[in-house]
A and B are shown apart, each in its own frame.
Chain A
Amino acid sequence: MKNPSKLAAAAMAALSFAGAAAAQSINAAGATFPEFIYKKWFSDYKNAHPGVEINYQAIGSGGGIKQLTQGTVDFGASDRPLTDAEMADPALKIKPIYFPTVLGGIVPAYNLPDVKTQLLFTGDVLAGIFLGKINKWNDPRIAALNKGVKLPADDIAVVHRSDGSGTTFVFTEYLAKVSPEWKAGPGVNQSPKWPTGMGQAQNEGVAGAIKQTPGSIGYVELTFILTNKGMQYGQVKNAAGSFINASVESVTAAAAGLTTFPASITNAPGPKAYPISTMTYLLIPSTIPDAKKREAVKGFLAWALKDGQKLAPPLGYAPLPKEVVAAELKQLPQVK
């Protein structure tokens, strides 16, 4: 044989195909916000049900919606609902049903090796930073919130998402609520025109960039901070006037009274609520023609809404309120 390495590779591949032939292979793609809990869920579910293999690619909410529309994945995931334009897209043959999975928080993460105290931010100041109006760390507006903290005179390196992101959508939604200047400017969008900063793909990329660049600040989902030793993040002032640390408790408080979905829970009124919180959704097509796939997906959803919720808090996500879970289990039969 001219190229023995080719033969060996083919044999390896054939063997692995044969071994996995029995598995029900399901493809999903979407938000990076919940990727920790989703990957854990899919991995645990596969261990419990070896016949079901759900391959999830975290490419961003925008990507998830697009792949779902084009039919290149079996279901999608997004931190934001589809826009009217996306719903009306003629390519979207089967309309999705929203299944919220967990709650989570978005934190302002930064990298200031010499600042040991946790910084405090208000929505206004965050808007100023991301608008490029506040561009030095020792700006009086930041200093006013953090009395007694020695802030360096360095430039602020803003990091934002370069891809269509549900995390961005929620973050800009929060900024628009607290800053009229942001609302009039870039506005609420999964991929706004950023006045300043560098873009990285996915939550991972933003977290990676912040970690590598002293003087940088960006917005990432909480778990990325918790799983990375030494990454710093700030507290944010909520609507009730208190500075809140993002945590399972404060995110749960933001969802108090939540019964319907999709819904926005940013800048929630509660005294202990974390202001930049959100639900995240799985976008399940209302019709799944393949019976085996449909059963597998529905089986997974039922598991995620009950047993899966317990796995959320250790990873930094908050479980859904009971009312929401009940409503979802009621709508599960709608997936035909």
Chain B
Amino acid sequence: MSAPAITSGGTGRTKSLLSSLRGGDAVAHLVALVFASSVLLVTLFLVFELWIHCAPSRAKFGLSFLFTRDWDPANGQFGALPFVYGTVLTSVIALIISVPLGVGAAIFLAELAPHRLSEWCTFLIELLAAVPSVIYGLIAVFTLIPLMRQYIEPFLKRVLGFIPFFSGPAFGDGYLTAGVILAIMTFPFIISISREALLEVPRDQREAALALGSTHWESTIQVVVPYARLGIFGSIFLGLARALGETMAVTMVIGNDTTIHTSLFARGYTIASVIANEFAEASDDLHLSSLIELGLVLFLITIVINALARLLIVVTAGRGTGRAT
């Protein structure tokens, strides 16, 4: 007979499985445990499978795989650098665009907008997060690329052409365009989570600043935002993690060039895109193994970023964020 235990999550004591498989509780516990462990096992198995299947390229290239620029399937030369570069560059461009806009919008929605408007706008923006990647890609191919090619890139070239980043041929696709579509895809995360973080800042913080004579903006930027900064950073990291792993929308606009270029208008490649394009017909073991190793590299990068993001958001929720400066 089982003594009733109050278990509303997290801290229930578990009976030793060996001693009691009698009674519905133990069975329920076991069943649930099995399914929960399956997640553990599957994830570990995933990492294991990735690791074994990239053995040929790990053996051949070792750590230099990460720093070699050469991607030449014909001659058996494989290096990860162009793809890591492309992945990081497009994500950085995405953040440069989406963080100011996103945090700005979050500030507006949390501080200035009337409650109803804020709720509705957030609802609409969160719907953006549900739109599949391939649909962003579809729209990017037919609207964003011509827009970039005909108006934006020539404009940037005229105004900023002396900087190497904005020189060179511009055909509408490439790093910059991929960065823009990624920015659009990360808006919802940054806005939604930053807004939540800002809403959690206690009223008295704001009121104290206002009572001391600061303007609304000053109280926001000097008191509220720093108070919520951990949550805001967390949202940025989450958006970054999503951008790094994005496949379809980026593949459709990145231009598929396996060399590294300085110009942002140039075509490039990301890890996810090269896997999507080359995996189905990687003809030899070394090629396949290199692609899988790239997948492992991407996985590791996203793990690190995700972990940092979770840490920041948890710390924000748990400890009530940092001190106002």
Q: Do chains A and B touch in the complex (CB under 8 A)?
A: yes
A65 touches B283 (CB 8 A): yes
B277 touches A189 (CB 8 A): no
In the complex, which residues of chain A have a beta carbon less than 8 angstroms from the beta carbon of B257? 197-199
Q: How far is the CA of A60 from the CA of B257 in the complex (A)?
A: 18
Partner-binding segment picked from B4-12, B67-75, B126-134, B202-210: B67-75
A62 touches B281 (CB 8 A): yes
Q: How far is the CA of A59 from the CA of B283 in the complex (A)?
A: 12
A59 touches B256 (CB 8 A): no
B171 touches A66 (CB 8 A): no
B72 to chain A: closest CB distance in Å?
A: 5
Q: How far is the CA of A190 from the CA of B257 in the complex (A)?
A: 16
In the complex, which residues of chain A have a beta carbon less than 8 angstroms from the beta carbon of B172? 212-213
A162-B256, A189-B74, A191-B74 known; A201+B277 contact, CB < 8 A: yes
In the complex, which residues of chain B have a beta carbon less than 8 angstroms from the beta carbon of A197? 257
User: Does B49 make an interface contact (CB < 8 A)?
Assistant: no
B90 to chain A: closest CB distance in Å?
A: 15
B172 to chain A: closest CB distance in Å?
A: 7
User: Does A270 make an interface contact (CB < 8 A)?
Assistant: no
Q: How far is the CA of A65 from the CA of B74 in the complex (A)?
A: 15
Instruction: Give per-residue flags for A196-238: 1 if the beta carbon is below 8 A from chain B beta carbons, else 0.
Output: 0111110000000000110110000000000000000000000
Q: Which of A51-105 contact B (CB under 8 A)?
A: 59-60, 62-67, 85-86
B283 touches A86 (CB 8 A): yes
In the complex, which residue of chain B has the Cβ closest to the Cβ of A64? B281
Instruction: Give per-residue flags for B253-267: 1 if the beta carbon is below 8 A from chain A beta carbons, else 0.
Output: 001111000000001
Determine the interface band of chain A, counting residues with CB < 8 A from chain B: 20 to 34
Instruction: Give per-residue flags for A313-324: 1 if the beta carbon is below 8 A from chain B beta carbons, else 0.
Output: 000000000000
User: Does B145 make an interface contact (CB < 8 A)?
Assistant: yes
In the complex, which residue of chain A has the Cβ closest to the Cβ of B254? A198
A193-B74, A193-B75, A197-B257 known; A216+B171 contact, CB < 8 A: yes
A67 to chain B: closest CB distance in Å?
A: 8
In the complex, which residues of chain A have a beta carbon less than 8 angstroms from the beta carbon of B256? 162, 198-201
In the complex, which residue of chain A has the Cβ closest to the Cβ of B146? A212
In the complex, which residue of chain A has the Cβ closest to the Cβ of B172? A213
User: Does A163 make an interface contact (CB < 8 A)?
Assistant: yes
A62-B283, A86-B283, A215-B171 known; A163+B277 contact, CB < 8 A: yes
B171 touches A157 (CB 8 A): yes
In the complex, which residue of chain B has the Cβ closest to the Cβ of A189? B74
Q: Which of A65, A157, A190, A212 contacts B169 (CB 8 A)?
A: A157
B255 touches A198 (CB 8 A): yes
A192-B74, A198-B267, A199-B258 known; A164+B283 contact, CB < 8 A: yes
Instruction: Give per-residue flags for A299-314: 1 if the beta carbon is below 8 A from chain B beta carbons, else 0.
Output: 0000000000000000
User: Does A44 make an interface contact (CB < 8 A)?
Assistant: no
User: Does B173 make an interface contact (CB < 8 A)?
Assistant: yes
Q: Which of B229-263 contact A (CB under 8 A)?
A: 255-258
B13 to chain A: closest CB distance in Å?
A: 32
Q: Which of B25-75 contact A (CB under 8 A)?
A: 72-75
Q: Which of A64, A193, A213 contacts B171 (CB 8 A)?
A: A213
A217 to chain B: closest CB distance in Å?
A: 12
User: Does A155 make an interface contact (CB < 8 A)?
Assistant: yes
Q: Which of B75, B141, B146, B283 contacts A66 (CB 8 A)?
A: B283
Q: Which of A85, A86, A193, A201 contacts B72 (CB 8 A)?
A: A193
Q: How far is the CA of A156 from the CA of B74 in the complex (A)?
A: 25
A162-B277, A197-B257 known; A66+B282 contact, CB < 8 A: yes
B25 to chain A: closest CB distance in Å?
A: 25
A200 to chain B: closest CB distance in Å?
A: 6
A13 to chain B: closest CB distance in Å?
A: 21
A164 touches B73 (CB 8 A): yes
Q: How far is the CA of A197 from the CA of B255 in the complex (A)?
A: 9
In the complex, which residues of chain B have a beta carbon less than 8 angstroms from the beta carbon of A193? 72, 74-75
In the complex, which residue of chain A has the Cβ closest to the Cβ of B288? A66
Q: Which of B280-325 contact A (CB under 8 A)?
A: 280-284
Give residues in A with beta carbon < 8 Å to B: 59-60, 62-67, 85-86, 155, 157, 162-164, 187, 189-193, 197-201, 212-213, 215-216
State the 4 A-B residue pairs at the shortest beta-carbon distance, nearest first: A63-B281, A199-B256, A155-B169, A198-B255
**What are 13 A-B contacts with C-beta separation under 8 Å?**
A59-B281, A63-B281, A155-B169, A162-B256, A163-B277, A192-B74, A193-B75, A198-B173, A199-B255, A199-B258, A212-B146, A213-B172, A213-B173
Q: A193-B72, A212-B172 are in contact. List 19 more A-B contacts (CB 8 A).
A: A59-B280, A59-B281, A157-B169, A162-B278, A163-B281, A164-B73, A164-B283, A187-B74, A190-B74, A191-B74, A192-B74, A197-B257, A198-B173, A198-B267, A199-B255, A199-B257, A201-B277, A212-B146, A213-B171
Give residues in B with beta carbon < 8 Å to A: 72-75, 141, 145-146, 149, 169, 171-173, 255-258, 267, 277-278, 280-284
